[in-house]
Amino acid sequence: MDALDPTATARARLARHSLSAARRRRDGLARGTILGGTILALIPLALIVYYLLAKGLGSWSWSFFTTDPTGNTFFKSSSIGGVKSAIVGTIEIVTLASVISIPIGIGVALWLIEYGRGSWFAHTVRFFIDVLTGVPSIIFGLFVYIALIVGTGSTYAGYKGSIALALLMLPVVTRSAEVILLLVPGSLREAALALGAPRWKVIWSVVLPTALPGLATGILLAIARAAGETAPLLFTAGATFKTNTNLSQFMNSLPVQIYNDVTSPTNAVVNRAWGAALTLVAMILVLNIIARLIARRSRLA
């Protein structure tokens, strides 16, 4: 490329002469390995995207989005239905989970930054939030099952799935909110306090508005993560075919629908799983892109 640039040629010649062949070879080999590793890491991504599009787009149709799945999968493969109830269910469950976890998560983060700070109690709370981050998602399902189903005589319900997802989102929301709140300049808080504003007003009209874009990014990423989770929903929200708007009944969701369809011996049902997977990934991707766009416009960080 730079063959016409005399200094580059000279530099290259110098480099070639000043390095022993063994060192140069080792350098090339190591660079090649590193590049190879990077390409290797991107191959699965490319394959997954390719298969999602190839298989998923094929099963997308108007009726795919507007009909409920049916249980009738063995005899008439044309009548298996779409994924409407799963899409509606995912949106309902995740919305309720967000309504629960966002205020609590931001509240805890506010307490950690504005009030708790270096106290031993704040360290304990932070430790427990870290513990929550590492808890496997299926354990959240078990927690909610124990607390809301064992011994209550009730069974699976959409809102129980929401609570499991809210527990999963809580540490993500809190952690990201904490990082963002820490970035709000102390001078802003001091200026407001010096003007005589009470602490709550400082938080409400200075700290939160300044941090808003960053908070929104963290929240959207937490929602995107929760939307793709299957394990916490299996024993909390259950699975059903019908679209329902009542959060106290069994509720379908895209991940659980895919999980149940994977094990089917019928091709058409597996194709429905691919279509549902493409739908789910598209939803998550949109959330991710919005999160990144907001993050780019944020004045903090």
- Taking CB under 8 A as the rule, does residue 222 contact other proteins? no
Taking the complex as a whole, the smallest distance from the CB of residue 262 to other proteins amounts, in Å, to: 6
- Taking CB under 8 A as the rule, does residue 199 contact other proteins? yes
Taking the complex as a whole, the smallest distance from the CB of residue 242 to other proteins amounts, in Å, to: 19
| Residues 168, 225 contacting (CB under 8 angstroms) | yes
| Residues 225, 172 contacting (CB under 8 angstroms) | yes
Taking the complex as a whole, the smallest distance from the CB of residue 193 to other proteins amounts, in Å, to: 7
Q: Considering only residues 34, 53, 57, 301, which one is a binding residue for other proteins as defined by CB under 8 A?
A: 34
Cα separation, 153 vs 91, whole angstroms: 27
Q: What residues between 114 and 143 interact with other proteins by CB under 8 A?
A: 114-118, 121-122, 124-126, 128-139, 142-143
**Stretch of 64-72, 78-86, 243-251, 279-287 contacting other proteins, by CB under 8 A:** 279-287
User: Helices marked H in the chain — which ranges?
Assistant: 6-18, 21-59, 62-66, 84-110, 120-134, 137-148, 158-183, 186-194, 199-202, 208-227, 231-234, 254-262, 267-297
Q: Considering only residues 60, 68, 77, 179, which one is a binding residue for other proteins as defined by CB under 8 A?
A: 179
Cα separation, 121 vs 111, whole angstroms: 11
Taking the complex as a whole, the smallest distance from the CB of residue 134 to other proteins amounts, in Å, to: 3
- Please provide the distance, in angstroms rounded to a whole number, between the alpha carbons at the two ends of the chain: 38
Q: Which is nearer to other proteins, 212 or 270 (CB)?
A: 270
Taking the complex as a whole, the smallest distance from the CB of residue 218 to other proteins amounts, in Å, to: 12
What DSSP designation does 206 have? I
| Residues 79, 72 contacting (CB under 8 angstroms) | yes
Instruction: Report which of 266, 262, 265, 246 is spatially closest to residue 254, judged by C-alpha positions.
Output: 262
Q: Considering only residues 96, 280, 294, 295, which one is a binding residue for other proteins as defined by CB under 8 A?
A: 280
Task: List the x/- string, 75-114, binding to other proteins by CB under 8 A.
Answer: -----------------------------x--xx-xxxxx
Q: Apex CA 60: angle with CA 59 and CA 66, to 5°? A: 120
Length of the chain: 301
Taking the complex as a whole, the smallest distance from the CB of residue 74 to other proteins amounts, in Å, to: 20
Q: Which is nearer to other proteins, 138 or 212 (CB)?
A: 138
Structure-block tokens of residue 56: 């998923």
Taking the complex as a whole, the smallest distance from the CB of residue 81 to other proteins amounts, in Å, to: 19
Q: What residues between 10 and 29 interact with other proteins by CB under 8 A?
A: 18-19, 23-24, 26-27
